[in-house]
Homo-oligomer: A and B are copies of this chain.
C-alpha cells in the first residue's frame, strides 16, 4: 500500500514539478543577476547620500522624485511619469531642545540635557519653549488615575516594547498608541506637553520620531520622543520620587499643503496591458536620517524587480507598475491618490506588493486576499526557499497599497524581512545607508522578483 500511495503521489506531483523546474531556473537566473550585477545597493547609496531625508513637502522630496524618475528610466521602464497629489508639509524648523532639572540628595540643583525629536506632525512650542513639572505615566490607565494632577504639567509616557513578542512589529503596534494618541489623551486633562519613550527595543539612546495624530477636540500640545536610555534614567528618577521640571523647545509647524508626486515606472503587459500589478515602496522618509531602511530599501527593491525583468528580456503578460509613493510617513496621501486614480480610470488591478519593512534578509510574504488564493500559491514557497523566503502567511500588505485593497478589493502583499533590527533604526538618525547590508537588500529584491514573476505567469 505504501508503494501504491507513493507511486500515486509521484504521478500526481510530476507535472507541476516539471513546470516548476522552468520557473525555478528563471528565478535562479534573476537572483544571479541581482546578486552579481544588481543595482539596488548603488541606487540606495545615491538616494541616501545625494538626497538624504525627504519628508513630503520638503525640497529633498522633490530631489528624490527626480532620482526616482531617472533611476526608473535607467532600469529600463517603458514609461516613467509623476502622479500628482496634495501632501502635508510639516517641518521640524531646526533642532529640538530639551533638558530637565531636579534637586539631588545634597540639595544641589542638577540639570540634564535630553536628546529629543519632535514627533512628526506635532505643534512646536514657540521660541521660548515650555517648562513644567513632569508626571510619569506608565500607560493610559495610569493617566486616568492621575487625571486630576495633569493640568499644567508635562506627561511622560514610558511604555516599553514588549520583549516577549517574537515579532517586533507587534510590540510596535502595541506601544504605538502612545505616539499617536498620547498627546491628545494628555491634553484632554490639561497637559501642556507630552514626551514619550521612543518606539524601539534598541540598546542605544537615539530618539525615534514618527507621526502623531491630534484629536481636534483638545488643544494641540507639543510632543517629542526621547531615547531608551534617557527614558530609563528619567523614569528611575521619577520613581525615586524626585520632583522634575522639564524644558522643551521646538519650532515644529505645518506649512500649507503642497504638491507632491508618486513616481511611477511601467512595463506594458504583453498579453493584458490593461491589467496591472503594482510593486512599490514609499519615497518619503523622516528628516533626521537618510531613510535607508525606511523606505529607501523598498524603493530600490521595487525598481530592481523592473530592472531584472528588462535585463533578462522577460516580457510580463500584465502591466507592471513600480510606484514610489509620495507620502507614507505623515499623511498617506500618495497611496490614496494612486487608488483614486485607479478607480477613476476603471483600471483592473490584479495584485499589489509593497516593501516597507526594511532591506533585511527576507523570511516570507504576508498576504491579504482570500484563503483560496493563498492556498493556490502556497506551493510557490519552495521556489523561493533558496533565497530565504520560507512562508506565505495570511495578513499583510502595506500602508500605500491599503487603499487599493480597500477600495478596489485588490489582493495585496507585503515583503516580510527579518524584523529584529528594524526598530533599532526606524525613524531614528541611524537609519543610514551604512546600516543596510548589500546581500540582504538584494535577496529582498530577488524574492520580490520571483513572486511577481509567478503571479504574472499564473495569476491568482
Contacts and interface: CB of A to CB of B under 8 A. Distances in A.
B36 A164 contact: yes
A166 interface: yes
Nearest to A361: B418
B391 A420 contact: no
Task: Give the number of copies in the complex.
Answer: 2
A397 to B, nearest CB: 22
A27 to B, nearest CB: 12
Contacts of A35: 163-164
A390 B391 contact: yes
Contact of A201 (B31, B32, B390, B439): B439
A440 interface: yes
A439 B31 CA distance: 29
Contacts of A325: none
Contacts of A443: 420
Interface in A425-443: 437-440, 443
Nearest to A37: B163
A361 B439 contact: no
A77 B361 CA distance: 36
A386 interface: yes
Contacts of A361: 361, 418, 420
Given A203-B438, A361-B361, A438-B203, A166 B420 contact: no
Contacts of A32: 164
A166 B387 contact: yes
Contact of A420 (B164, B203, B386, B439): B439
Interface in A8-39: 31-32, 35-36
Nearest to A164: B32
A358 interface: no
Q: Which 3 A-B pairs have the closest CB atoms?
A: A420-B439, A35-B163, A390-B390
12 contacts: A35-B164, A36-B163, A36-B164, A163-B439, A168-B439, A203-B438, A361-B418, A390-B390, A390-B391, A418-B418, A420-B437, A420-B440
